[in-house]
Each structure stands twice: as structure tokens, then as C-alpha cells.
């Protein structure tokens, strides 16, 4: 966790918007903040529409944005929930989130470098959301956080998260698949001088097994369409903590 924190704190200091939402044309602090945050509003609207189409409507009291960065998804979640808490491992990202926060009465940000979410009590949230975050965490830690998502969900609460299921068929994806991670880290530090975004692939069968052991209800899981120049293929999971019988 300390290495992950160091890397992402550096990325948050150097080029936070690009580090959060990769676009090769936006590297070097070339993301316009309004355009960047507009992608978050669009994404959360899509998620809420998808849940409605599935017949799922989480209660609207409180939501968690895990790996919130500078609040790209946290702020639009505040249009659907009374309170949204964003957590991130990088203090620099949290400082950015506070600076960009347009709804301080509804969005609250927390720096968390622990291997758990012990800063929150059991059954705190109606909705837990994370996107393009768990891919940067080794699978054992990612699974530990998924267990934490379930712990902090209220009965009847919904969690939505994604995990890489393999490498993309793009040139970048095949490079990441074949080149050892230490060499990639060395290359990034020497050529780009920035922190390292590690990527980890997790087998969907292992994720489903974890969720079955945790006793949650699988609402849906599916492959996310690949975008151009992607490194990994992702799978989205939507689960419910069952209400009391």
C-alpha cells in the first residue's frame, strides 16, 4: 500500500486529471477541468439509467466513491444521494477534490491509506461505486476491498465495481501483457518521470467465487466494451447485499 500511495500521490501532484482518466492527447495537464468533469456527469447518469433498467433503485441517503481522485464521479453522485463520501489513497488527489468541490454540503473527502475501510462503520452506505480503480491494486488487496464494500453496505444496498479480466487486443495491451512489470516501471520513471500505474488482471470466476462466499446477490456482470488504445479488458459487477429475510 505504501508504494501505491507514493505512486498515486506523485501522479496527483504532476498530472491528476490525466492520471484519473487516461487520454494520450491530454497528458501534460491538457485536460480542461469542465470537459473532464463532464465525463463524470455522463458516466454516473449512464450508471443510474442502467440500474433503473435492471429494476434496481438504491436508497438515496448515502453513497461511497472508492478511489475518488479529484471527485470526477463523486460530485455527480451528489445529484442522486443526500451525502457522498469519496476516499482516495493519494493525499494530493484529496486536496484536488476539495479544491474542485462545488457541493461541499453533500460531498466529503477522506484520505485513506489503510488496507480496509475501517474509517466507516458497518452498514453505512446505500450505494458503493468504483470505476477504473481496483485494476491498479494487487488482486489480494482488491478482494479485501470488495469484502469491505459489502461490509459497509446497508442491507438492500448496491455495489458497482469493475475489474480487469484480461489484456486488450490493442498494441498497448499486448505490450503490457508481455513486458514484465518492473521493466514497465523503470521505463515510465526514466522516460516520463512520473508515478507508475500498475495493472492487475483477475479471473472472473475468482470474483464470482468471492461474491458467493460473501453472500451477496449478483444482479449482473458483463464485459465492458473496449475503448481505443485500451490496455485491459474490464468486467463490470453489480451486486446487492440482501435485505433481512
Q: What three-state secondary structure class fits 56?
A: coil
Torsion of CA 227, 4, 81, 106, to 10 degrees: -130
Taking CA 92 as the corner, what is the angle to CA 83 and CA 14, rounded to the nearest 5 degrees?
A: 130
Q: Domain of 221: which CATH number?
A: 3.40.50.150
Q: Is residue 133 part of a domain?
A: yes
pLDDT at 12: 94
Percent of the chain with pLDDT over 70: 88
pLDDT in tens, 215-228: 999 999 999 987 77
Which phi and psi angles does 91 have, rounded to 5°?
-60, -35
pLDDT in tens, 23-54: 889 989 999 999 999 999 999 999 999 999 99
Which residues form the domain of 186?
A: 2-240
Average pLDDT over residues 74-84: 98
Q: Is residue 100 part of a domain?
A: yes
Q: Is residue 114 part of a domain?
A: yes
Residue 225: CB partners within 8 Å, gap ≥ 6?
Answer: none
Number of domains present in the structure of the chain: 1
| Structure confidence at residue 94 as a pLDDT band (50, 70, 90) | very high
pLDDT at 70: 98
Count of Cβ atoms closer than 10 Å to residue 1 Cβ? 13
Between the CA of residue 186 and those of 54, 192, 194, 204, 229, what are the distances in Å?
Answer: 44, 10, 10, 30, 21
Give the integer Cα–Cα distance in Å for 213 and 73. 29
pLDDT in tens, 130-187: 999 999 999 999 999 999 999 999 999 999 999 998 877 766 666 666 766 667 666 6
Q: Is residue 66 part of a domain?
A: yes
In terms of DSSP bridges, do strands 232-240 and 217-223 run parallel, antiparallel, or are they unpaired?
A: antiparallel
Q: Is residue 245 part of a domain?
A: no
Average pLDDT over residues 90-110: 97
Q: Who wins on pLDDT, 231 or 143?
A: 143
pLDDT in tens, 106-116: 999 999 999 99
Give the integer Cα–Cα distance in Å for 148 and 200. 19
Count of Cβ atoms closer than 10 Å to residue 16 Cβ? 24
Amino acid at each position: 500500500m505504501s508504494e501505491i500511495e507514493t505512486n498515486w500521490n506523485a501522479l496527483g501532484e504532476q498530472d491528476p486529471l490525466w492520471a484519473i482518466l487516461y487520454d494520450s492527447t491530454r497528458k501534460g495537464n491538457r485536460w480542461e477541468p469542465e470537459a473532464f468533469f463532464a465525463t463524470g456527469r455522463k458516466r454516473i447518469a449512464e450508471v443510474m439509467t442502467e440500474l433503473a433498467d435492471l429494476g434496481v433503485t438504491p436508497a438515496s441517503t448515502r453513497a461511497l466513491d472508492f478511489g475518488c481522485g479529484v471527485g470526477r464521479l463523486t460530485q455527480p453522485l451528489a445529484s442522486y444521494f443526500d451525502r457522498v463520501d469519496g476516499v482516495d489513497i493519494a493525499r494530493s488527489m484529496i486536496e484536488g477534490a476539495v479544491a474542485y468541490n462545488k457541493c461541499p454540503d453533500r460531498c466529503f473527502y477522506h484520505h485513506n491509506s489503510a488496507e480496509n475501510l475501517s474509517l466507516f462503520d458497518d452498514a453505512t452506505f446505500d450505494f458503493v461505486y468504483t470505476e477504473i480503480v481496483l485494476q491498479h491494486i494487487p488482486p489480494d488487496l482488491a478482494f479485501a476491498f470488495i469484502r469491505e464494500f459489502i461490509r459497509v453496505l446497508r442491507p438492500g444496498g448496491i455495489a458497482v465495481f469493475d475489474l480487469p479480466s484480461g489484456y486488450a487486443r490493442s498494441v498497448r495491451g499486448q505490450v503490457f501483457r508481455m513486458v514484465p512489470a518492473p521493466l514497465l516501471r523503470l521505463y515510465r520513471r526514466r522516460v516520463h518521470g512520473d508515478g507508475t500505474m500498475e495493472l492487475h488482471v483477475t479471473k472472473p470466476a475468482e470474483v464470482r467465487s468471492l461474491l458467493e462466499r460473501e453472500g451477496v446477490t449478483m444482479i449482473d456482470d458483463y464485459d465492458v466494451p473496449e475503448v481505443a488504445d485500451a490496455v485491459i479488458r474490464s468486467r463490470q459487477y453489480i451486486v446487492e447485499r440482501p435485505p433481512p429475510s
